[in-house]
Structure 1
Amino acid sequence: MSKPSHPNDPSPSTSSGTPLDATPARALGDFIRAHRERLSPMAVGLPPGPRRRTPGLRREEVAQLCGVSPTWYTWIEQGRPVSASADALARIAVALQLSRAERAYLFELAEERDPAEPDQAATDAPSALIETVQLIQSPAYVLDRQWTALAWNAPAADLFVGWLDNARDGQPSGAAAPERNLLRFTFTTSSARALIVDWETRARRLAAEFRADSIRHLNDAPTRALIDALSAESDAFARFWASQDVGEREGGAREFDHPRHGRVVYDQITFKPAHREDLKLVVLVRRS
């Protein structure tokens, strides 16, 4: 006889031949169970009830708090390869009173995007982060999810001619401020090809890095619109994107042929600010 399922729960699947403790689902189940066992009934407003054989909340109690069936919740804890939506995970995080870091870890284990993450359309950066950029003496800038610069300092504006300064290819004097997207600058302006040493290699790498970085919001409207537009406007981007190459955003040497300073070499370092992992702080340190 098959086990009952909740009408709102995704159907479970089985995976014969693979030990449960060798799967990501097992790691997810272990994490959830550990935090359930740490939480007392009184902490969530439930009566202590009769003597408990196990520490913390019962699985049935967490299922009730989450609004899911006990069977489905039990399968999650057991590490069965069931499908858990972002909404279901969010309810589990709330029920277990997870901290911000614990919640982020939960979603990473489940390979889902937290619906409570900052809006992908947000165009703001924390004021403290903007102030930090201005205090850095080396070129520094902040990128959003689509790699549009939200803040940058004077050294960055001096270095990135055609992107972070006031000039763009074909833009008349007095025109509105240009879009500060790093991908658009790299793939659609002649100034980028002149500025970036070994442009072909760097541009290919940039597309691979963006593919890896955008995987969790690849179908969001702003990201999709950017990819579609670049694919139409740049043959190089379309070719690199179609290659399916994936790469981490790494540091290392960045060489430029600057129109005023000549050949300059920097080491690039990228940081993700706490509580705003949708943003990146990029710093370039000049090599002596």
Structure 2
Amino acid sequence: MRHAAPESASDSPSASPLDTTPAHALGEFIRAHRERLTPAAVGLSPGPRRRTPGLRREEVAQLCGVSPTWYTWIEQGRPVSASADALARIAVALQLSRAERAYLFELAAQRDPAEPDQANATDAPATLLRTVQLVDAPAYVLDRQWTALAWNAHAADLFTGWLDAGNDRNLLRFTFTEPLARELIVDWETRARRLAAEFRADSIRHLNDAPTRALIDSLIAASDEFARFWASQDVFEREGGRREFNHPRHGRVAYDQITFKPAHREDLKLVVLVRL
């Protein structure tokens, strides 16, 4: 079977993945999804025999209400400005799924205008907040600044000094500013360094939001260790694994930590600690 020829030699994927820039990655992603979409899927006539698979560039540009030249440059990976609004129209025109749309905006380093404002944690799903009470192990829900929104009695018993009344219940502030945390957490410095690096990775999408910025600034001012760890620029993916504590009543206890993210609220986390 004869394959369709590429639209131009300059559009061919880079010979080496090492040569791929964010702009090229964005262009390749958009082009791949354009080529998957048939004219019939968007209500267009197939017309005469097509040289390329899927929709033509000018057809997508028309659907998006943008210049064909601008759209072509985006696909070619040229360093042109792509606003969030233009990207949203491309996502709709290409009929991207929720996951594909999120990936598109990540590639473009833009925030999706259709994404709900999650800065206010009071809208956390009630079902998620109730879930912690159904778990027969320490469990809690964190918001995007890692402040506990809900927790069960097992968690309150384990985390003395954090989930007690009168505290703001921010995990980072507890870890770095409360003396009890250094006594409770086994190998505190290793865990604290890792926590700062995990928060840097987790907060990249909202690093300049006022609540996140205020938290970081206050921790830098309050804790020399946090200031040092944050300045190191270390980035680690949040992971589970063994967590050990020197509990004032229960002695040395060990857990396996598991973190879950709700499908539609990835700024929240459900954390469960299973006793070892």
| Equivalence for 2:92 | 94
1:145 corresponds to 2:144: yes
**1:195 aligned partner:** 184
2:48 corresponds to: 51
CA distance in 1 between partners of 2:184 and 2:139 (Å):
17
CA contact (8 A) 2:40 2:46 kept: no
2: CA distance, partners of 1:95 / 1:222: 35
Q: Which runs of 5+ in 2 are unaligned?
A: 1-13
Alpha-carbon contact 2:177-2:222 (below 8 Å) kept: yes
SS of the aligned residue for 2:201 comes to: helix
The equivalent of 1:9 in structure 2 is: none
Distance 1:20 1:113, change over 3 A: farther
SS in 2 for 1:57: coil
Give the corresponding residue for 1:5: none
TM-score normalized with structure 2 length: 0.84
Write out aligned runs for 1:1-288 (5 A): 19=15, 22-23=19-20, 24-41=22-39, 43-44=41-42, 47-48=44-45, 50-51=47-48, 53=50, 54-123=52-121, 124-166=123-165, 171=166, 178-287=167-276
Q: CA deviation at 1:160?
A: 0.8
Aligned-partner Cα distance in 1 for 2:99–2:119: 23
CA distance in 2, matches of 1:182, 1:164: 9
Cα distance in 1 between the residues matched to 2:39 and 2:130? 44
* Separation in 2, partners of 1:150, 1:86: 31
Say which SS state the counterpart of residue 253 (structure 1) adopts.
strand
Aligned partner letter, 1:125: A
Measure, in 2, the Cα distance between the counterparts of 1:145 and 1:229. Answer: 16
Corresponding residue of 1:11: none
Moved more, 93-102 or 60-69: 60-69
Q: Tell me, yes or no, if the aligned pair for 1:20 and 1:26 is still in contact at 8 Å.
A: no
Among the aligned pairs, what percent are the same residue? 83
C-alpha deviation, 1:211, in angstroms: 0.9
Alignment check: 8 A CA contact 2:140 2:272 kept: yes
Larger CA deviation: 213-222 vs 19-28: 19-28
Q: Distance in 2 between the 1:87 and 1:50 partners?
A: 30
Residue 270 of structure 1 aligns to a residue whose secondary structure is strand
For each residue in 1:19-53, what CA deviation from the matched residue of structure 2 results, as whole angstroms up to 9, or x when unmatched? 586414444323322322343445445x5274351
Alignment RMSD: 2.4
3-state SS, counterpart of residue 267 of structure 1: strand
Secondary structure, aligned partner of 1:285: strand
Preserved contact between residue 207 and residue 213 of structure 2 (Cα < 8 Å): yes
